[in-house]
Structure 1
Amino acid sequence: MKYNLLTILGPTATGKTGLAAHVASKIDGEIISADSRQVYRGMDLGTGKDYEDYFVNGVEVPSHLVDIEDAGVHYNVYRFQTDFIYVFQQIQHRKNFPVLCGGSGLYLEAVLRNYRLIEVPPNKELRNELKGKSLEELTEILKAMKPKLHNHSDVETYRRAIRAIEIEKYYAEHQQEDSEMPEIESLNIGIDFDREMRRQRITKRLKQRLEEGMLDEVQRLLDSGLTPEQLIYYGLEYKFLTLHLIGELSYDEMFSKLEIAIHQFAKRQMTWFRGMEKRGTKIHWVNGHLPMEEKVDEIICLLNE
């Protein structure tokens, strides 16, 4: 086999984890999550941790980089790349096959394109300089440092914008080091749904997770000592549900704004994946409407070519 990694990617609500688990079960595989929020313990429904998807015919497929940090910690792409290298090598040592699965484009590219990364420490002096500026002002500062602002989540909240500026300033002043990334030959599979079906799946899943207790999950996180600002930092579900729980949004306003935000997020994910293709990453798009077994067979055939 010419590949040593299988990557399954796609926007939110396309069934990535279930497909990854079914393929992994056929090839002695282990899943490595590439999701920037599923690393956090206690953030389950809001991040889409569908634990049951890891079970195939009653057997759990091994998974990694899920539930490895407490909520409130700032996990980042540098940490992810470092953790990926360790897990990837451990899976190879066990003579199993690594299956990378997720929708965080920056995390995926950090592996597939071997980004040269360095860990960025907090810059208290810079933070003091930026204190009091509006989110719009911070966005303009970041754009001046980084004209092509691909990752719009960087300016979704005040804290994210501060951190993004901090990172760009550090990169400008310090030489980037080579990571010890192993040689990667990945077969990259994208799950393809038409836009309308993707929207339907997103809305259905949002309603389901609210029925399953997503609001209770966010309230538990607040009760555990996390501040509203800390939860809002994580965006999407945690941002809008927190705003509802602290009385800034009614339930209907929360649902409507969150639904729109997730649709916009999925669109940005697809834009990122198309950008990956333009930057040289080959992605085989599989029809998401196909039955699971047909998708699995198609992927295994591609692996064995």
Structure 2
Amino acid sequence: MKPFVVAILGPTATGKSALALAVAGRYDGEIINCDSTAVYRGFDIGTDKIAPADRRGIPHHLIDIVDPTDEYTAAQYARDAAAIIRDVHARGRLPVLAGGTGFYFRALTRGLFPGPGRNAALRQRLESIAERRGVAFLHRLLRKVDPESARRIQPRDLKRLVRALEVFYLTGRPLTAHFADTASPIADLDVLAVGLRLPAALIAERVTRRVDDQFARGLLDEIRTMLARAIPETARPFGGLVYRQALEHLHGVRDEDSTRALIVQENRRYARRQLIWFRKEPNLSWFDGPGESSAIAAAVMHLIDAYVARA
């Protein structure tokens, strides 16, 4: 049988981790993270990482692999994930990807183009514009020239915004237009991709519970610890959802209740963007229900069994 990979994808708060644990437990698998925030050490509560004690003895890969000040790109992720997938296969086990970073998944399954080298002068001009007019201005600019990249990049993610605009101005083509010219590092493998989907109202409820739990588990203390360790506020994890809003709260921008409400609101928006992104992925089988549902797990396992029977 041709080696294959199971990928469990979808918007935030749909239960991907729970389903990945069930699938990996059933098929002697190992889980490979596909979430861009979980790669950073020390940022645990706001990224909702599964604690080692809750992993049921199942190996997890590409979690806590880089320091918060390190640069970790989608291209590096694709190389690392591909190497781990082949290692898992070599040991006779099933690789199970799990996460909601669509760009990481696309880099792995379709590849990324090398792109033009960094242009220091252009980057400085773009960063100067951001200083004068705000990072959100760059996001609006990107939305005009590369709407698809604008949907996946957070409005305050200066580094990714600058890179996407840099590629457009240097090549005359949007970043996403270059993807067709690339090759996947696992092109010789089959990818059985599963998407979890929930109604917006249910996602809102689940996100609200999760945010309350994150604050109860010490999110603000986690941030204070990072700052005490001299992690700069410009480190990439601090620019992501949850951490950005919580950091603003610590600076007195808004009170805690308003901060919680804002995090929920931003997560709901992010979930919509994720759904739009994953809808464009070919050959993705959608399941309507939370990943921790026994019925959803059974349905996904039926899909895997059917694939194995055909192979």
Q: Taking structure 2 as the reference length, what is the TM-score of the superposition?
A: 0.85
Give, as a single letter, the amino acid of the residue that structure 1 aligns with 2:37. Answer: R
Q: CA deviation at 1:91?
A: 0.5
In the alignment, the residues of structure 2 paired with residue 151 and residue 69 of structure 1 have an alpha-carbon distance, to the nearest angstrom, of 26
Residues 28 and 146 of structure 1: is their aligned pair in 2 closer, same or farther, counting only changes over 3 Å? same
SS at match of 1:40: coil
Residues 80 and 232 of structure 1: is their aligned pair in 2 closer, same or farther, counting only changes over 3 Å? closer
In the alignment, the residues of structure 2 paired with residue 211 and residue 233 of structure 1 have an alpha-carbon distance, to the nearest angstrom, of 19
In the alignment, the residues of structure 1 paired with residue 233 and residue 53 of structure 2 have an alpha-carbon distance, to the nearest angstrom, of 30
2:306 paired with 1:301: no
Q: CA deviation at 1:182?
A: 3.9
Name structure 2 gaps, 5 residues minimum. 307-311
Residues 259 and 170 of structure 1: is their aligned pair in 2 closer, same or farther, counting only changes over 3 Å? same
Q: 1:112-261 to 2 correspondence within 5 Å?
A: 112=109, 114-118=110-114, 122-133=118-129, 134=133, 135-143=135-143, 145-169=145-169, 178=183, 180-230=185-235, 234-261=239-266
2:118 paired with 1:98: no
The answer (yes or no) to whether the contact 1:18–1:53 under 8 Å persists in 2 is no
The answer (yes or no) to whether the contact 1:34–1:104 under 8 Å persists in 2 is yes
Could you tell me which residue of structure 1 aligns to residue 80 of structure 2? 83
Give, as a single letter, the amino acid of the residue that structure 2 aligns with 1:281. Answer: N
Q: CA deviation at 1:145?
A: 4.2
Q: CA deviation at 1:161?
A: 2.1
Q: CA deviation at 1:21?
A: 1.0
In the alignment, the residues of structure 2 paired with residue 30 and residue 232 of structure 1 have an alpha-carbon distance, to the nearest angstrom, of 25
Name structure 1 gaps, 5 residues minimum. none
In the alignment, the residues of structure 2 paired with residue 65 and residue 254 of structure 1 have an alpha-carbon distance, to the nearest angstrom, of 30
In the alignment, the residues of structure 1 paired with residue 147 and residue 266 of structure 2 have an alpha-carbon distance, to the nearest angstrom, of 24
The answer (yes or no) to whether the contact 2:107–2:184 under 8 Å persists in 1 is no
Q: CA deviation at 1:222?
A: 1.2
Could you tell me which residue of structure 1 aligns to residue 11 of structure 2? 11
Residues 5 and 158 of structure 1: is their aligned pair in 2 closer, same or farther, counting only changes over 3 Å? closer
Could you tell me which residue of structure 1 aligns to residue 47 of structure 2? 47
Could you tell me which residue of structure 1 aligns to residue 286 of structure 2? 284
The answer (yes or no) to whether the contact 2:198–2:290 under 8 Å persists in 1 is yes
Count how many residue pairs are aligned between Structure 1 and Structure 2: 297
Residues 25 and 281 of structure 1: is their aligned pair in 2 closer, same or farther, counting only changes over 3 Å? same
Cα displacement string for residues 55-102 of structure 1 (whole angstroms, at most 9, x for unaligned residues): 33xxx1111111100112221211111111110110011111110111
Q: CA deviation at 1:225?
A: 1.1
Cα displacement string for residues 3-28 of structure 1 (whole angstroms, at most 9, x for unaligned residues): 61111112111211121011111111
In the alignment, the residues of structure 1 paired with residue 148 and residue 271 of structure 2 have an alpha-carbon distance, to the nearest angstrom, of 19
32-41 vs 43-52, which deviates more?
A: 43-52
Residues 205 and 303 of structure 1: is their aligned pair in 2 closer, same or farther, counting only changes over 3 Å? same
The answer (yes or no) to whether the contact 1:105–1:269 under 8 Å persists in 2 is yes
Residues 137 and 205 of structure 1: is their aligned pair in 2 closer, same or farther, counting only changes over 3 Å? closer
Could you tell me which residue of structure 1 aligns to residue 309 of structure 2? none
Could you tell me which residue of structure 1 aligns to residue 31 of structure 2? 31
39-48 vs 116-125, which deviates more?
A: 116-125
In the alignment, the residues of structure 2 paired with residue 231 and residue 248 of structure 1 have an alpha-carbon distance, to the nearest angstrom, of 20
Q: CA deviation at 1:39?
A: 0.3
Report percent identity of matched pairs: 28
2:280 paired with 1:275: yes
Q: CA deviation at 1:170?
A: 5.9
CA RMSD of aligned residues (A): 2.7
SS at match of 1:98: strand
Q: Taking structure 1 as the reference length, what is the TM-score of the superposition?
A: 0.86
In the alignment, the residues of structure 1 paired with residue 24 and residue 140 of structure 2 have an alpha-carbon distance, to the nearest angstrom, of 44
Residues 19 and 11 of structure 1: is their aligned pair in 2 closer, same or farther, counting only changes over 3 Å? same
2:108 paired with 1:111: yes
Residue among 63, 83, 98 paired with 2:60: 63
The answer (yes or no) to whether the contact 1:3–1:186 under 8 Å persists in 2 is no
Residues 243 and 195 of structure 1: is their aligned pair in 2 closer, same or farther, counting only changes over 3 Å? same
